[in-house]
Structure 1
Amino acid sequence: MTIDHGANMNHLEQLKDAVPADIVVTDPDLMEGYRRDSADLVPAGKPVAVLRPRCTAHVSAIMSWATRTNTIVVPRGAGTGLSGGATALDGCVVVSMEHMTAIRDFDVANHTVVVEAGVVNADVGRAVASAGLFYPPDPGSFEVSTIGGNLATNAGGMRCVKYGVTRNSVLGLEVVLADGRVLHTGGQTVKNVAGLDLTQLFIGSEGALGIITSATLRLRPTPAATATFVATFPTLETGGRALNAIFASGVTPSMLELMDNATINAVEDYRRMDLDREAALLLIGQADGTDALAQVERMATCCDEAGADLSVATADPTESDMFLQARRLAGWATMEQFPTVVEDVGVPRTRLAELLTTIAEISRDTGVRIATVGHAGDGNLHPMLLLPDLGEDARRRAMETADRICAAAIALGGTITGEHGVGELKREWLTHQLDDISLDVQARIKRALDPALLLNPGRGF
Structure 2
Amino acid sequence: MLTDPDLVMSYRHDEADLVPYGTPSVVVRPRTTGQVSAVLRAASRHRVPVIPQGARSGLAGGANAIEGAIVLSLTAMNEIVDIDTENHIAVVQPGVVNAQLHRAVAEKGLYYPPDPGSWEQSTIGGNVSTDAGGMCCVKYGVTSEYVIGLEVVLASGEVLHCGRRTAKGVAGYDLTSLFVGSEGTLGVITEVTVRLRPAPEPALTLVAVFDTFAAAGAAVSGIVRSGLQPSMLEVIDRVTLSAIEAYRPMDLPTTAAALLIAAVDSGSRAPDDLARLAATCHEARAADVYVASDAAEADALLAARRLAHPALEQFAANLFPAGGGVMVDDVAVPRTRLVELIEGIERISTEHGMVVATVGHAGDGNLHPIIVIDRSDPVSIAQGQKVFDAIMSLGLSLGGTSTGEHGVGLLKRDWLAREIGPTGLKAHRSIKAALDPDNILNPGKIF
Q: Same fold (TM over 0.5)?
A: yes
Q: Report the CA distance between 1:432 and its aligned residue.
A: 1.6
C-alpha deviations, 1:115-139, integer Å up to 9, x for none?
Answer: 0000000000111111111110000
Q: Report the CA distance between 1:328 and its aligned residue.
A: 1.3
Give, in whole Å, the separation in 1 of the partners of 2:153 and 2:68.
21
Give, in whole Å, the separation in 1 of the partners of 2:252 and 2:66.
43
Q: Secondary structure, in 3 states, of the residue corresponding to 1:259?
A: strand
Which residues in structure 2 correspond to 1:318-337 (within 5 Å)?
318-337=296-315
- The answer on whether the counterparts of 1:340 and 1:385 sit within 8 Å (CA) in structure 2 is yes
Paired position in structure 2 for 1:342: 328
Is 1:433 paired with 2:410? no
Is 1:84 paired with 2:61? yes
Is 1:235 paired with 2:212? yes
Is 1:449 paired with 2:426? no
Paired position in structure 1 for 2:8: 31
Q: Secondary structure, in 3 states, of the residue corresponding to 1:320?
A: helix
Give, in whole Å, the separation in 2 of the partners of 1:336 and 1:173.
38
| 1:357 partner letter | E
- The answer on whether the counterparts of 2:60 and 2:409 sit within 8 Å (CA) in structure 1 is yes
Q: Secondary structure, in 3 states, of the residue corresponding to 2:7?
A: helix
Q: Secondary structure, in 3 states, of the residue corresponding to 1:128?
A: helix
Which residues in structure 2 correspond to 1:414-425 (within 5 Å)?
414-425=400-411
Q: Report the CA distance between 1:244 and its aligned residue.
A: 1.4
Q: Secondary structure, in 3 states, of the residue corresponding to 2:192?
A: strand
- The answer on whether the counterparts of 1:372 and 1:382 sit within 8 Å (CA) in structure 2 is yes
Give, in whole Å, the separation in 2 of the partners of 1:217 and 1:164.
13
- The answer on whether the counterparts of 2:374 and 2:381 sit within 8 Å (CA) in structure 1 is no
Q: Secondary structure, in 3 states, of the residue corresponding to 2:426?
A: helix
Paired position in structure 2 for 1:20: none
Paired position in structure 2 for 1:6: none
Is 1:313 paired with 2:269? no
Paired position in structure 2 for 1:208: 185
Paired position in structure 2 for 1:17: none
Q: Report the CA distance between 1:352 and its aligned residue.
A: 1.2
Paired position in structure 2 for 1:413: 399
Give, in whole Å, the separation in 2 of the partners of 1:407 and 1:243.
23
Deviates most, 140-149 or 382-391: 382-391
- The answer on whether the counterparts of 2:117 and 2:306 sit within 8 Å (CA) in structure 1 is yes
C-alpha deviations, 1:65-95, integer Å up to 9, x for none?
Answer: 1110010000000000000110110111100
Give, in whole Å, the separation in 2 of the partners of 1:273 and 1:294.
28
Q: Secondary structure, in 3 states, of the residue corresponding to 2:30?
A: coil
Which residues in structure 2 correspond to 1:356-375 (within 5 Å)?
356-375=342-361
Q: Report the CA distance between 1:42 and its aligned residue.
A: 1.4
RMSD value over aligned CA atoms? 1.1
Q: Report the CA distance between 1:390 and its aligned residue.
A: 4.2
- The answer on whether the counterparts of 2:235 and 2:362 sit within 8 Å (CA) in structure 1 is yes
Gaps of 5+ in 2: 317-324
Q: Secondary structure, in 3 states, of the residue corresponding to 1:62?
A: helix
C-alpha deviations, 1:324-343, integer Å up to 9, x for none?
Answer: 12211111211233211111
Paired position in structure 2 for 1:289: 266
Q: Report the CA distance between 1:44 and its aligned residue.
A: 2.2
Deviates most, 354-363 or 176-185: 354-363
- The answer on whether the counterparts of 2:50 and 2:70 sit within 8 Å (CA) in structure 1 is yes
Give, in whole Å, the separation in 2 of the partners of 1:70 and 1:50.
16
C-alpha deviations, 1:208-247, integer Å up to 9, x for none?
Answer: 0000011001111111221011001111332222111111
Q: Equivalent of 1:402, from 375, 383, 388? A: 388
- Provide runs of 4+ in structure 1 moved above 6 Å: none
Gaps of 5+ in 1: 1-23
Give, in whole Å, the separation in 1 of the partners of 2:266 and 2:109.
14
Give, in whole Å, the separation in 2 of the partners of 1:407 and 1:425.
14
| 1:406 partner letter | M
Q: Report the CA distance between 1:299 and its aligned residue.
A: 0.6
| 2:150 partner letter | L
Which residues in structure 2 correspond to 1:126-145 (within 5 Å)?
126-145=103-122
C-alpha deviations, 1:140-159, integer Å up to 9, x for none?
Answer: 10001001100110000011
Paired position in structure 2 for 1:265: 242
Is 1:114 paired with 2:72? no
Give, in whole Å, the separation in 2 of the partners of 1:296 and 1:377.
15
C-alpha deviations, 1:418-458, integer Å up to 9, x for none?
Answer: 00000011101122211211111111000000001100111
C-alpha deviations, 1:385-432, integer Å up to 9, x for none?
Answer: 111334322221121111111000001100110000000111011222
Q: Equivalent of 1:388, from 371, 374, 396? A: 374
Paired position in structure 2 for 1:8: none
| 1:305 partner letter | E
- The answer on whether the counterparts of 1:137 and 1:156 sit within 8 Å (CA) in structure 2 is yes
Q: Secondary structure, in 3 states, of the residue corresponding to 1:364?
A: helix
- Percent of residue pairs identical: 51
Give, in whole Å, the separation in 2 of the partners of 1:64 and 1:37.
25
| 1:153 partner letter | T
| 1:316 partner letter | D
- The answer on whether the counterparts of 2:111 and 2:200 sit within 8 Å (CA) in structure 1 is no
Q: Report the CA distance between 1:292 and its aligned residue.
A: 2.0
- The answer on whether the counterparts of 2:242 and 2:254 sit within 8 Å (CA) in structure 1 is yes
Give, in whole Å, the separation in 1 of the partners of 2:110 and 2:264.
17
TM-score (norm 1): 0.93
C-alpha deviations, 1:295-337, integer Å up to 9, x for none?
Answer: 1221111001211000012462112112212211111211233
Paired position in structure 2 for 1:248: 225
